[in-house]
């Protein structure tokens, strides 16, 4: 029996309608941007396996460090104990995070990194004896799938079955180009109305990923962050997708003049090798928990907090960022994307092209309008799978978000595939 047949008997896949989805493709090996199935077919992973893989599959340096760690110390509880890789990782992250960040709290994934950030912000105010408990978020945001993360995410199909149990959040519009003033006035009005109640503002800096690679500029976000800062509203940058070079800098927050109070990280943190989440905070936040009173400690933790194997994968991945070549590649991918965008100008069925750093998104004009459930999605997905290219459009938005090891000729394979698709749609 093939891997996919055995899978279909026992597994349940994420974000998949098991009845109508095609059988999953069994992948047995990965190298660089390529994933190989049981028959030896290579698939070009143009979306970094759900945005996690920054360094290419089975990266030899990360593999070596992980294997060494497995033979040294696989896990130790993280309350009352510590270990070299957690200390090293925290020291190194703080060197590259925005300057005001001073503490690292570890967990297992992006949703928990967000969950930790929300709880940290709320307990910060509680520890200070203030009754602030409202969170501000952007319309259409995606911050993860746990209840807190769903609550601060945009209201839509993903959260509809759970909506009655989500906590109340104040949503403002995303400051997409041309809309900056609207977002700003919504925030100002909100502060006038709710001032003493607003605990924190959470946002995906510069790119809202899951809602369709919506992009906006630092000039749109900066004023919102300054207003929060001057009104005692904590700012939480969800860098789960944008972190670790995706936008051309280590963190998208570097494009801003105001530093966030809290930063959420995951996805690319281990180069795409192990599950790990991290939430960093400023010293001011940490101070509100630092007390003789046990009731002021941060009430959060996971059994696998700071898993040494995951921390060593993250340290190994950081080694690769210390190599200039990684940043040369990030810049090269951005330039290739820009050249590709110019070639697309002749296509009438494109509604918008957006690009920042290593991400390019192409929004197609369709009768159904822009939506995750746009029926064109499955056709596009299949079109690329037939050509052995992994692209998972968000509805009618096709995007490329590749591992940084992708070569120009590998990028061309993806570009040519997209052009072929656009030409076929034109007919
Ligand atoms: C993917 C993502 C999350 C959730 O991360 P998981 O590891 O999938 O739980 C949170 N925030 C953003 C911005 C993301 O892109």
The verdict on 258 and 399 lying in the same domain is no
Rounded to the nearest angstrom, the distance between the alpha carbon of 192 and the centre of ligand 1 is: 31
* Ligand 1 touching residue 240 (CB < 6 A): yes
Residue 106 in tokens? 């570890």
The verdict on 196 and 300 lying in the same domain is yes
The verdict on 40 and 123 lying in the same domain is no
Q: Which residues span the domain enclosing 170?
A: 63-321
Q: Give the residue numbers marked as catalytic.
A: 15, 142, 238, 267
The verdict on 83 and 222 lying in the same domain is yes
Rounded to the nearest angstrom, the distance between the alpha carbon of 418 and the centre of ligand 1 is: 26
Rounded to the nearest angstrom, the distance between the alpha carbon of 426 and the centre of ligand 1 is: 35
The verdict on 141 and 240 lying in the same domain is yes
Tens of pLDDT, residue by residue over 91-119, are: 999 999 999 999 999 999 999 999 999 99
Tens of pLDDT, residue by residue over 260-308, are: 999 999 999 999 999 999 999 999 999 999 999 999 999 999 999 999 9
* Ligand 1 touching residue 143 (CB < 6 A): yes
CATH code, domain carrying 386:
3.90.1150.10
The verdict on 90 and 236 lying in the same domain is yes
The verdict on 383 and 298 lying in the same domain is no
* Domain endpoint, select from 288, 321, 354: 321
Tens of pLDDT, residue by residue over 171-194, are: 999 999 999 999 999 999 999 999
Please give the number of the atom of ligand 1 that sits closest to the Cα of 110: 5
The verdict on 155 and 270 lying in the same domain is yes
Structural domain total, the chain: 2
CATH code, domain carrying 91:
3.40.640.10
Q: Per-residue pLDDT averaged across 403-414, rounded?
A: 98
The verdict on 98 and 207 lying in the same domain is yes
Residue nearest (by alpha carbon) to ligand 1 atom 6: 110
* Domain endpoint, select from 304, 321, 338: 321
* Ligand 1 touching residue 114 (CB < 6 A): yes
User: Model-level pTM greater than 0.85?
Assistant: yes
Q: Which of 146, 209, 242, 265 to mutate to test the pocket of ligand 1 (most atoms within 8 A of CB)?
A: 209
Tens of pLDDT, residue by residue over 13-72, are: 999 999 999 999 999 999 999 999 999 999 999 999 999 999 999 999 999 999 999 999
* Ligand 1 touching residue 274 (CB < 6 A): no
* Ligand 1 touching residue 238 (CB < 6 A): yes
Rounded to the nearest angstrom, the distance between the alpha carbon of 255 and the centre of ligand 1 is: 21
């Amino acid at each position: 029996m093939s891997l996919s047949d055995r899978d279909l008997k026992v597994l349940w896949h994420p974000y998949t309608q098991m009845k109508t989805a095609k059988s999953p493709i069994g992948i047995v090996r990965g190298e660089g941007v390529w994933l190989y199935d049981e028959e030896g077919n290579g698939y070009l992973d143009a979306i970094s396996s759900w945005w996690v893989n920054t360094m290419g599959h089975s990266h030899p340096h990360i593999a070596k460090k992980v294997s060494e760690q497995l033979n040294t110390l696989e896990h130790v509880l993280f309350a009352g104990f510590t270990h070299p890789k957690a200390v090293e990782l925290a020291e190194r992250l703080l060197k590259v995070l925005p300057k005001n960040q001073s503490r690292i709290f570890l967990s297992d994934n992006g949703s928990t990194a967000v969950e930790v950030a929300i709880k940290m912000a709320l307990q910060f105010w509680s520890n200070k004896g203030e009754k602030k408990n409202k969170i501000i978020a952007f319309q259409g945001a995606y911050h993860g799938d746990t209840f807190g993360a769903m609550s601060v995410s945009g209201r839509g199909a993903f959260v509809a079955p759970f909506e009655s149990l989500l906590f109340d959040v104040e949503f403002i519009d995303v400051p997409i180009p041309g809309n900056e003033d609207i977002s700003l006035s919504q925030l100002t009005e909100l502060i006038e109305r709710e001032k003493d109640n607003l605990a924190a503002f959470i946002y995906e800096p510069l790119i809202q990923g899951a809602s369709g690679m919506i992009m906006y500029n630092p000039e749109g976000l900066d004023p919102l962050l300054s207003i929060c800062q001057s009104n005692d509203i904590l700012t939480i940058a969800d860098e789960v997708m944008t972190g670790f070079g995706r936008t051309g800098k280590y963190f998208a927050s570097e494009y801003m003049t105001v530093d966030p109070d809290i930063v959420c990280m995951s996805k690319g943190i281990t180069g795409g090798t192990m599950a790990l989440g991290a939430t960093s905070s400023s010293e001011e936040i940490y101070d509100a928990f630092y007390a003789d009173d046990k009731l002021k400690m941060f009430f959060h933790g996971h059994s696998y907090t700071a898993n040494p194997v995951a921390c060593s994968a993250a340290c190994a991945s950081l080694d690769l960022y210390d190599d200039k070549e990684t940043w040369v590649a990030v810049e090269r991918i951005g330039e290739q994307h820009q050249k590709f965008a110019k070639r697309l100008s002749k296509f009438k069925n494109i509604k918008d092209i957006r690009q920042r750093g290593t991400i390019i998104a192409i929004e197609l004009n369709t009768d159904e309008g822009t939506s995750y459930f746009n029926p064109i999605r499955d056709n596009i997905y299949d079109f690329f799978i037939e050509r052995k290219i992994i692209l998972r459009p968000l509805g009618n938005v096709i995007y490329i978000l590749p591992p940084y090891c992708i070569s120009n000729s590998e990028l061309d394979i993806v570009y040519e595939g997209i052009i072929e698709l656009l030409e076929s749609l034109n007919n």
